[in-house]
């Protein structure tokens, strides 16, 4: 009876740890603000989320009014908790700029979307050349799924040991 209860408790513990996440990270805001009008080129853009973001392959692209030219100084973004930012080149033509982002939430799910802002007065900058727009810094960190697999393996070992140690001794 003890073995059955121990096994049931361990199975319930395993299924509780592997249950899917019901809440996903969401866009909270950006700087410049979504829909805002700015008079001069910002030095950087940032996007803020409701939950932390993983370090690693997080990308922010800033597209010019033509929808194609890229104005970010690098594609991989810097993460600071729930905020992700990328430096900007000096902006050029006046018009609507689009901040396109794709980040990996702390729960391992990708989050992507866009925000816009308008530059009211033209700047003197030029867009990044295609090879410059793809330059990036290197991200680090271990993906969440690696930790989840490790926990499952450790629990499987614990179940095996518990079953072996609770086996009655035969004489």
Res. 116: pLDDT tops 50: yes
Res. 51: pLDDT tops 80: yes
Please list the helix, strand and coil fractions of the chain in percent, rounded to the nearest 5, in that order.
Answer: 25, 30, 45
Res. 135: pLDDT tops 50: no
Token pair for 29:
């805001």
- Give CA separation, 134 vs 23, 87, 113, in Å: 32, 13, 19
Backbone angles phi, psi at 63, to 5 degrees: -100, 140
Res. 35: pLDDT tops 70: yes
Query: What domains are there in the chain, each with its CATH number?
Result: 24-142 (2.60.40.1220)
Res. 10: pLDDT tops 80: no
28: confidence class by pLDDT, cuts 50, 70, 90: very high
Res. 105: pLDDT tops 70: yes
- pLDDT in the model for residue 74: 86
- Rounded Cα–Cα distance for residues 78 and 169 (Å): 58
- Rounded Cα–Cα distance for residues 20 and 15 (Å): 10
Res. 106: pLDDT tops 70: yes
Under 8 Å between Cβ of 121 and 40: yes
Residue with the larger pLDDT of the pair 91 and 146: 91
């Amino acid at each position: 009876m003890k073995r059955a209860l121990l096994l049931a408790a361990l199975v319930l513990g395993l299924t509780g740890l592997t249950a899917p996440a019901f809440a996903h990270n969401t866009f909270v805001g950006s700087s410049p603000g979504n829909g805002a009008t700015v008079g001069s080129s910002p030095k950087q853009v940032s996007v803020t989320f409701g939950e932390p973001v993983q370090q690693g392959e997080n990308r922010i692209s800033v597209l010019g009014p033509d929808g194609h030219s890229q104005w970010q100084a690098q594609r991989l973004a810097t993460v600071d908790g729930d905020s992700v930012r990328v430096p900007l080149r000096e902006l050029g033509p006046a018009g609507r700029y689009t901040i396109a982002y794709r980040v990996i939430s702390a729960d391992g799910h990708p989050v992507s979307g866009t925000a816009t802002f308008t530059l009211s007065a033209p700047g003197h900058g030029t867009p990044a050349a295609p090879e410059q727009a793809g330059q990036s810094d290197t991200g680090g960190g271990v993906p969440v799924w690696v930790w989840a697999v490790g926990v499952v393996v450790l629990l499987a070992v614990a179940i095996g040991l518990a079953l072996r140690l609770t086996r009655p001794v035969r004489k």
